[in-house]
Amino acid sequence: MTAIYGAAGTDGRRLAWPLLEAAVRLHWGWPFLPPVDRSPRGKPLFPGREDRWFSLSHSGGLALCALSAASVGVDIEVVRPRRARLPQRLLSREELARYDGTWEDFYRLWTLKESWCKREDAPLYPPQRAAVPSDCPCKSYAGAGWRGAVCCHGAPPEDIIWLEVSCEKEGPI
């Protein structure tokens, strides 16, 4: 089962690791955050715990943390206008065919792509080649000024669980 936790503040980067610490305490009952390592491609993981996976993302003042019993990927992006040709440079043909031309929809498609790559520990670049398979259990989330997504194994959670988190300390990596 996958769960997604979120936090909002002024600096999503500084919220991400305290959010992970709070999420593992709530979700798995762990009293503290265990050591974190990285795969050869850079995916953060708990060494020796193939039954516990996590993924982190931050943008602006927002952070998301996904926890799962299998590999998982999560992404969040603050919606903001960018260069007009960016969608054509970053989205695959299939994604462009589904793209409605708005920045909200671009970020919906982009967060799905990035969460898929995180789940698979696969390269995001070149982005036009990184395409989410149609049978992937993914879900998009939206709020005022942001879009997010999760790619997991099994059914994605319906909602994000938002927590109050302090960012007094930063993460281990």
Sign of the torsion angle spanned by Cα atoms 41, 55, 19, 47: negative
Which tens digits make up the pLDDT trace of 75-91? 999 999 999 999 999 99
Backbone angles phi, psi at 73, to 5 degrees: -140, 140
For the entire predicted model, the pTM comes to 0.94
Contact 76, 146 (CB under 8 A): yes
- Beta partners for 104? none
Which tens digits make up the pLDDT trace of 18-31? 999 999 999 999 99
The strand order across the sheet containing 161-162 reads 53-59, 62-68, 3-8, 161-162
Q: For residue 122, what are its two tokens?
A: 């696969």
- pLDDT the model gives residue 160: 98
- pLDDT the model gives residue 173: 46
Contact 124, 117 (CB under 8 A): yes
